[in-house]
Chain A
Amino acid sequence: MTMFIQFLIDVLSLGGAYALMALGLVIVFGILKLVNFAYGELIMVAGYTMYMVSGLGLPWLVMAGIAVIMAIMAGIATDYVAFRPVRAKSVTAVLITSFAFSTLLQNAAQLFISPRPRTVPLPEIFSATVEIAGVITPARNLITIAAAVTLLAFFAFIMKRSILGIAMRAAATHFTMTRMLGVPANLIISSAFAISGFFAGVVSLLWIGRIGTVVPGIGLEPLLIAFIATVIGGMRSLQGAVLGGFLLAFIDTGLNYSLPQELLKFRDAFTFSLVILILLWRPQGLMRGPATGQRT
């Protein structure tokens, strides 16, 4: 029983973080059909902001707020630098610019800050442990679950009820028609990038809460996770991304519990092979979203 609760908490907390990561990626992909390679670097930006404001003596929540705002700004910058100039051109062009922008940000962090890890301030509650039904678990796991549930509910509400949310869903379904009905394209696209940045910022806080330091390459792992989760769940569906995140967390944790030690180091190879298989079986992912390809 304790084993089961332990497993459940692990899956839910990991899955919550994964779902948020995937959602940030899929919100941009759903509308623009852009695989945003620079998404991981938004997480890095938030991390370095935390490091830089840590000397100011502000309360942690204020610092976290600043970090999330910086991630949002970086998200909007992605739109202006890597996406808008090539929006009307081929898919490959957009992919290449976003890959280049990701390398640009990473190397800028190396050049202007440092290639070595930097410590990030964490509130005490992140390192505390809690006991639930005989299971001892770090409090940050519960915080992650709570944050994920709150944000997912809030985001679902926005997308269903607010005008911006409805416009964005409309844009994901049929971009040209949405524009003809008077929705400004640039506003929608920038909002998508801003929301993506917001999720990256929050994920960054939760993710760095596990590690405690930030390095220029920190974005790669969350990016890969978001990739796999969206591919499993469905590249064009927001619900699919959430489902994919939790499913991936379930698979990862399951492999962690069951694989023998010498195979465990190949875990990433197993997960990625699984992605390839799922894509072959269902190129659309488990959940099918609206079909469209235009973005001008």
Chain B
Amino acid sequence: MKRHIVTLAVLISLVIGLVVATDLTDIRLFDRIATNLCISLVLVLGMQVFMGNSGILSFAHIGFMGIGAYTSAALTIPVQMKGMALPDLYPVVAAVELSPYLGILAGGLVAALVAAALSYPLMRLSDAAAVITFFALLVVLHTVMLHWSEVTNGPRTLFGIPKATDLNLAAGFAALAIVAALAFKESRTGLLLRSTRDDETAAGALGAKVAVLRWQAFILSALFAGIGGALWGHFITSFSPKAFYLKETFVILGMLVIGGANTVSGAVVGAFMVTFAFEGLRAVESGLNRAQIFSEQVVGLTEITLALAMIGIMALRPGGVFAMREIGAILTRRARKKRDSS
């Protein structure tokens, strides 16, 4: 952990810088963008915890985000609202009304518990089989969310979730996520898991329990995803299961891959880059739509650009912007070189 002090300082100051800059400009749109960015950070870092350390592409991540969002919603919607928002909710849950902050934590915990219960057997798989199973898991979670009307209001929009997430709260969780992701990476479990990523057979032969290690990382990753989802739910205040499917998966995966999945710095920088590029393009899109240059609405420009960027990054720099070293290591090494040469 010690050698990552610089990394930690740089990454956290990025988040603090974002908060300060937003507060100074005091524009509502910027506030929304910055909060969304912080929530994305929590989600991307959660994905990094599993994918970066184990080397397995996890498609199921966004499903756990959905679990977190719906858990927190079911626990925090005010009791008198529940009759309207979730008419068929089980009486035990319907009587509960937690503070949103407890709800967010509960969302993370439930997501982690579900992950712990479901995922252990999946951790034996690698490569293509793992990818397809995680994809299947995402579809299962999505189908359940789509049809479990008692808790999720079915495919319809769930509304009435109390607004609790502001920029400071989201940024706080983002900073915590950075610390946790770095700490996990440097922990004994993280180190062993990274050794299985680089050579599964060799690490297994040396006594690393591959499945158990992956399982631990997956639970932590689901905890992040659940918290991120609950934060998002309390920010957006109404959503439907559609929000937790392939489109969101693609965006979060794009952030991680462009930044570099193997490093925490990569996850953070990727989230920043993609968010800013997205908001820029979205402004272009809505500008075009307002000017009505084209007869139909312009949609999908952002996704097309992100897709091209992902293919480009994979072809030219498959590890992403930060492929192996954390930003702190790069900076210290540069400083040392400068000192040596002078």
Binding site for B on A (CB under 8 A): 29, 33, 35, 81-82, 85-86, 89-93, 95-97, 99-101, 103-104, 106-108, 110-111, 114-115, 220, 224, 227-228, 231, 235, 265-266, 268-269, 272-273, 275-276, 279-280, 283
Q: Is the CB of A85 within 8 A of B311?
A: yes
Any A CB within 8 A of the CB of B136: yes
- Given contacts A35-B131, A107-B304, whether A283 and B125 have CB atoms under 8 Å apart is yes
Jot down 20 A-B pairs with beta carbons below 8 A, ordered by A: A33-B128, A82-B311, A92-B261, A93-B314, A95-B131, A99-B250, A100-B306, A100-B310, A100-B314, A103-B304, A104-B303, A104-B307, A106-B303, A111-B299, A224-B139, A227-B132, A269-B144, A272-B137, A272-B143, A283-B125
Q: Is the CB of B147 within 8 A of A29?
A: no
Chain A at the B interface: mostly helix, strand, loop or mixed? Answer: helix
Residues of B with C-beta under 8 A to A280: 121-122, 124-125
Q: How far is the CB of B219 from chain A (nearest CB, A)?
A: 18
Q: Is the CB of B139 within 8 A of A92?
A: no
Binding site for A on B (CB under 8 A): 55, 57, 121-122, 124-125, 127-129, 131-133, 135-137, 139-140, 143-144, 147, 246, 250, 253-254, 257, 261, 296-301, 303-304, 306-308, 310-311, 314-315, 318
Separation of A262 and B311 alpha carbons in the complex (Å): 42
Residues of A with C-beta under 8 A to B133: 275-276, 279
Residues of B with C-beta under 8 A to A115: 297, 299-300
One of B136, B139, B307 near A107 (C-beta < 8 A): B307
Closest A residue to B146 by beta carbon equals A265
Q: Is the CB of B143 within 8 A of A99?
A: no
8 more CB-based (< 8 A) A-B contacts, given A227-B136, A272-B137, A276-B136: A91-B128, A95-B128, A96-B310, A100-B306, A107-B307, A231-B136, A269-B147, A275-B136
What 8 A-B pairs are tightest by C-beta distance, nearest first?
A: A107-B300, A85-B315, A104-B307, A100-B310, A110-B300, A100-B307, A269-B143, A107-B303
Residues of B with C-beta under 8 A to A227: 132, 135-136
Separation of A85 and B315 alpha carbons in the complex (Å): 5
Residues of B with C-beta under 8 A to A114: 296
Separation of A90 and B197 alpha carbons in the complex (Å): 12
- Given contacts A227-B135, A228-B136, A266-B144, whether A89 and B129 have CB atoms under 8 Å apart is no
Closest A residue to B294 by beta carbon equals A111
Residues of A with C-beta under 8 A to B307: 100-101, 103-104, 107
Q: How far is the CB of A281 from chain B (nearest CB, A)?
A: 10
- Given contacts A89-B318, A97-B314, A224-B139, whether A103 and B127 have CB atoms under 8 Å apart is no
Q: How far is the CB of A291 from chain B (nearest CB, A)?
A: 13
- Given contacts A279-B129, A280-B121, whether A93 and B304 have CB atoms under 8 Å apart is no
Closest A residue to B299 by beta carbon equals A110
Closest B residue to A285 by beta carbon equals B129
Residues of B with C-beta under 8 A to A224: 139
Separation of A130 and B308 alpha carbons in the complex (Å): 48
Residues of A with C-beta under 8 A to B55: 92
Separation of A90 and B128 alpha carbons in the complex (Å): 11
